[in-house]
Amino acid sequence: MSFNTIVRDAIDRLSSLYNNSGYNPSTNPGGMGFGGHRENFIPALQDLSTVTEAIGDAAAQVAEDTATTSANAATVAANTASATASAATATTGAATATTKAAEAVAAAETAVSTANNILGGLSATSTTSLIVGLGTKSLTVQSTKAFKPGMAVTVAYTPTPNVVKMLGTILTYNVSTGAMTVDIGDVEGTGTYADWTIAIALSDGGMPDVPSNPAISLTFYSNLGPWGV
Protein backbone atom coordinates (compact mmCIF):
# COMPACT_ATOMS: atom_id res chain seq x y z
CA MET A 1 0.00 0.00 0.00
CA SER A 2 1.29 3.43 -0.90
CA PHE A 3 0.37 6.73 0.75
CA ASN A 4 -1.65 9.36 -1.11
CA THR A 5 -0.23 12.69 -2.22
CA ILE A 6 -1.39 14.53 0.91
CA VAL A 7 0.40 12.10 3.22
CA ARG A 8 3.53 11.96 1.07
CA ASP A 9 3.72 15.74 1.03
CA ALA A 10 3.33 15.82 4.83
CA ILE A 11 6.16 13.27 5.19
CA ASP A 12 8.38 15.36 2.90
CA ARG A 13 7.73 18.53 4.92
CA LEU A 14 8.39 16.81 8.26
CA SER A 15 11.61 15.26 6.89
CA SER A 16 13.14 18.20 5.06
CA LEU A 17 11.24 21.48 5.59
CA TYR A 18 10.74 22.12 9.31
CA ASN A 19 13.86 22.81 11.37
CA ASN A 20 15.09 24.65 14.47
CA SER A 21 17.09 27.30 12.58
CA GLY A 22 16.09 30.93 12.11
CA TYR A 23 13.03 31.57 9.97
CA ASN A 24 13.48 33.33 6.62
CA PRO A 25 10.62 33.29 4.10
CA SER A 26 13.08 33.15 1.21
CA THR A 27 16.02 31.02 2.39
CA ASN A 28 14.56 28.98 5.28
CA PRO A 29 10.74 29.05 5.20
CA GLY A 30 10.51 26.03 7.50
CA GLY A 31 12.59 27.49 10.34
CA MET A 32 11.12 27.62 13.87
CA GLY A 33 13.56 30.26 15.16
CA PHE A 34 13.24 34.08 14.98
CA GLY A 35 9.46 33.91 15.17
CA GLY A 36 9.19 31.09 12.63
CA HIS A 37 7.20 28.98 15.08
CA ARG A 38 4.27 31.34 14.51
CA GLU A 39 4.30 30.37 10.83
CA ASN A 40 5.33 26.70 11.02
CA PHE A 41 4.40 25.22 14.41
CA ILE A 42 0.71 24.59 13.73
CA PRO A 43 1.33 23.29 10.13
CA ALA A 44 4.00 20.95 11.54
CA LEU A 45 1.53 19.56 14.07
CA GLN A 46 -1.10 19.12 11.35
CA ASP A 47 1.40 17.24 9.16
CA LEU A 48 2.40 15.08 12.13
CA SER A 49 -1.25 14.22 12.78
CA THR A 50 -1.79 13.39 9.09
CA VAL A 51 1.19 11.05 8.97
CA THR A 52 0.33 9.36 12.27
CA GLU A 53 -3.23 8.66 11.10
CA ALA A 54 -1.95 7.32 7.77
CA ILE A 55 0.42 4.92 9.54
CA GLY A 56 -2.47 3.44 11.50
CA ASP A 57 -4.63 3.12 8.39
CA ALA A 58 -1.81 1.49 6.42
CA ALA A 59 -1.09 -1.05 9.15
CA ALA A 60 -4.78 -1.97 9.44
CA GLN A 61 -5.14 -2.35 5.67
CA VAL A 62 -2.04 -4.55 5.40
CA ALA A 63 -3.36 -6.81 8.16
CA GLU A 64 -6.74 -7.07 6.44
CA ASP A 65 -5.21 -7.76 3.02
CA THR A 66 -2.87 -10.39 4.41
CA ALA A 67 -5.70 -12.21 6.22
CA THR A 68 -7.88 -12.20 3.10
CA THR A 69 -5.05 -13.45 0.90
CA SER A 70 -4.20 -16.25 3.34
CA ALA A 71 -7.84 -17.38 3.54
CA ASN A 72 -8.21 -17.40 -0.25
CA ALA A 73 -4.98 -19.32 -0.68
CA ALA A 74 -6.07 -22.00 1.80
CA THR A 75 -9.44 -22.46 0.05
CA VAL A 76 -7.93 -22.76 -3.42
CA ALA A 77 -5.26 -25.20 -2.26
CA ALA A 78 -7.90 -27.46 -0.70
CA ASN A 79 -10.02 -27.58 -3.89
CA THR A 80 -7.44 -28.30 -6.60
CA ALA A 81 -3.80 -29.15 -6.91
CA SER A 82 -3.30 -26.59 -9.65
CA ALA A 83 -4.52 -23.87 -7.34
CA THR A 84 -1.44 -24.40 -5.20
CA ALA A 85 0.55 -22.35 -7.68
CA SER A 86 -2.08 -19.59 -7.56
CA ALA A 87 -1.98 -19.60 -3.79
CA ALA A 88 1.79 -19.29 -3.88
CA THR A 89 1.50 -16.36 -6.28
CA ALA A 90 -1.09 -14.68 -4.07
CA THR A 91 1.10 -15.18 -1.01
CA THR A 92 4.05 -13.67 -2.86
CA GLY A 93 1.91 -10.68 -3.83
CA ALA A 94 0.78 -10.24 -0.25
CA ALA A 95 4.39 -10.42 0.96
CA THR A 96 5.41 -7.79 -1.56
CA ALA A 97 2.56 -5.51 -0.50
CA THR A 98 3.50 -5.99 3.14
CA THR A 99 7.13 -5.13 2.41
CA LYS A 100 6.17 -1.94 0.57
CA ALA A 101 3.81 -0.93 3.34
CA ALA A 102 6.53 -1.55 5.93
CA GLU A 103 8.93 0.64 3.95
CA ALA A 104 6.34 3.42 3.78
CA VAL A 105 5.63 3.13 7.50
CA ALA A 106 9.36 3.26 8.27
CA ALA A 107 9.71 6.44 6.22
CA ALA A 108 6.74 7.98 8.01
CA GLU A 109 8.14 7.01 11.41
CA THR A 110 11.43 8.68 10.50
CA ALA A 111 9.52 11.84 9.61
CA VAL A 112 7.61 11.67 12.91
CA SER A 113 10.89 11.24 14.80
CA THR A 114 12.26 14.34 13.07
CA ALA A 115 9.15 16.30 14.03
CA ASN A 116 9.41 15.10 17.64
CA ASN A 117 13.00 16.35 17.81
CA ILE A 118 11.83 19.77 16.65
CA LEU A 119 8.95 19.86 19.13
CA GLY A 120 11.19 18.63 21.93
CA GLY A 121 13.53 21.54 21.29
CA LEU A 122 10.71 23.94 22.11
CA SER A 123 9.90 22.60 25.58
CA ALA A 124 11.93 22.26 28.78
CA THR A 125 11.70 21.89 32.57
CA SER A 126 13.17 23.83 35.47
CA THR A 127 13.64 23.40 39.22
CA THR A 128 14.33 27.10 39.80
CA SER A 129 12.20 28.51 42.62
CA LEU A 130 9.88 31.20 41.21
CA ILE A 131 7.10 33.34 42.66
CA VAL A 132 4.03 33.49 40.43
CA GLY A 133 3.76 37.10 39.31
CA LEU A 134 4.43 39.70 36.63
CA GLY A 135 7.82 41.02 35.54
CA THR A 136 11.16 39.47 34.67
CA LYS A 137 11.78 35.90 35.84
CA SER A 138 15.21 34.22 35.74
CA LEU A 139 15.41 30.44 35.64
CA THR A 140 17.59 27.61 34.40
CA VAL A 141 16.32 25.01 31.91
CA GLN A 142 18.03 22.36 29.81
CA SER A 143 20.75 23.56 27.43
CA THR A 144 20.84 23.14 23.61
CA LYS A 145 17.13 23.89 23.21
CA ALA A 146 15.65 25.84 20.27
CA PHE A 147 14.35 28.76 22.34
CA LYS A 148 14.99 32.23 20.93
CA PRO A 149 14.51 35.75 22.33
CA GLY A 150 11.07 37.05 21.40
CA MET A 151 9.32 33.68 21.57
CA ALA A 152 6.11 33.64 23.62
CA VAL A 153 6.22 30.87 26.25
CA THR A 154 4.23 29.46 29.12
CA VAL A 155 5.89 28.69 32.44
CA ALA A 156 3.51 26.22 34.10
CA TYR A 157 3.67 24.51 37.49
CA THR A 158 4.14 20.86 36.42
CA PRO A 159 1.77 19.12 38.91
CA THR A 160 -1.16 21.47 38.12
CA PRO A 161 -0.28 23.24 34.85
CA ASN A 162 -3.82 24.44 34.16
CA VAL A 163 -4.15 26.02 37.60
CA VAL A 164 -0.77 27.72 38.05
CA LYS A 165 0.93 29.16 34.96
CA MET A 166 2.59 32.31 33.66
CA LEU A 167 2.66 33.66 30.10
CA GLY A 168 5.52 35.80 28.84
CA THR A 169 8.18 36.51 26.24
CA ILE A 170 11.74 35.16 26.28
CA LEU A 171 14.25 37.95 26.82
CA THR A 172 17.41 35.84 26.83
CA TYR A 173 18.35 32.17 26.54
CA ASN A 174 21.89 30.79 26.84
CA VAL A 175 22.01 27.65 24.71
CA SER A 176 25.19 26.47 26.49
CA THR A 177 24.09 26.88 30.12
CA GLY A 178 20.28 26.86 29.84
CA ALA A 179 20.01 30.21 31.66
CA MET A 180 16.80 31.97 30.62
CA THR A 181 14.98 35.20 31.42
CA VAL A 182 11.28 35.67 30.65
CA ASP A 183 9.20 38.85 30.80
CA ILE A 184 5.92 37.65 32.36
CA GLY A 185 2.85 39.59 31.22
CA ASP A 186 -0.03 37.42 32.49
CA VAL A 187 -0.50 34.82 35.24
CA GLU A 188 -2.96 32.33 36.66
CA GLY A 189 -2.70 31.11 40.25
CA THR A 190 -0.42 32.21 43.08
CA GLY A 191 2.43 30.85 45.16
CA THR A 192 6.12 29.93 45.01
CA TYR A 193 7.17 26.71 43.25
CA ALA A 194 10.28 24.95 41.96
CA ASP A 195 8.84 22.48 39.45
CA TRP A 196 8.13 24.14 36.11
CA THR A 197 7.46 23.11 32.52
CA ILE A 198 8.31 25.68 29.84
CA ALA A 199 6.86 25.49 26.32
CA ILE A 200 6.13 27.88 23.49
CA ALA A 201 2.69 29.52 23.54
CA LEU A 202 0.65 29.04 20.38
CA SER A 203 -0.41 31.99 18.25
CA ASP A 204 -3.95 30.92 17.37
CA GLY A 205 -5.70 31.56 20.65
CA GLY A 206 -4.21 29.68 23.51
CA MET A 207 -1.60 28.47 25.88
CA PRO A 208 -1.06 24.69 25.76
CA ASP A 209 -1.67 22.46 28.73
CA VAL A 210 1.43 20.58 29.88
CA PRO A 211 1.73 16.74 30.06
CA SER A 212 4.75 14.81 31.36
CA ASN A 213 6.35 14.39 27.92
CA PRO A 214 5.40 17.34 25.69
CA ALA A 215 7.84 16.34 22.93
CA ILE A 216 5.63 13.48 21.72
CA SER A 217 2.14 14.35 22.93
CA LEU A 218 -0.31 15.63 20.32
CA THR A 219 -2.76 16.31 23.16
CA PHE A 220 -0.26 18.75 24.67
CA TYR A 221 -0.17 20.88 21.56
CA SER A 222 -3.87 20.73 20.70
CA ASN A 223 -5.42 21.15 24.15
CA LEU A 224 -5.29 24.93 24.45
CA GLY A 225 -5.82 27.09 27.49
CA PRO A 226 -7.49 30.55 27.63
CA TRP A 227 -4.56 32.77 26.64
CA GLY A 228 -3.46 33.87 23.14
CA VAL A 229 -0.26 35.40 21.81
Ordered per-residue pLDDT tens for the chain, 229 residues: 578 899 889 888 888 888 888 889 899 998 888 777 888 888 888 888 888 888 888 778 777 877 787 777 667 666 766 666 766 777 777 677 677 767 766 665 666 565 555 556 789 999 999 999 999 999 999 999 989 999 999 999 999 999 999 999 999 999 999 999 999 999 999 999 999 999 998 644 344 444 434 443 333 333 333 333 3
Task: Look up the CATH architecture of domain 123-222.
Answer: Beta Barrel (2.40)
The conformation of residue 17, written as its DSSP 8-state character, comes to I
* CA separation for the pair 150, 213 (Å, rounded): 24
* DSSP string of 89-152, one letter each residue: HHHHHHHHHHHHHHHHHHHHHHHHHHHHHHHHTTEEEE---EESSSEEEEEE--SS----TT-E
Angle at which helices 37-79 and 5-12 cross, to 10° = 130
Parse the chain into domains and list their residue ranges: 5-120, 123-222
Number of Cβ within a 10 Å radius of residue 43 = 14
Q: What angle do CA 156, 225, 166 make, to 5 degrees?
A: 30
* CA separation for the pair 113, 108 (Å, rounded): 9
Q: What is the pTM of this model?
A: 0.48
The conformation of residue 48, written as its DSSP 8-state character, comes to H
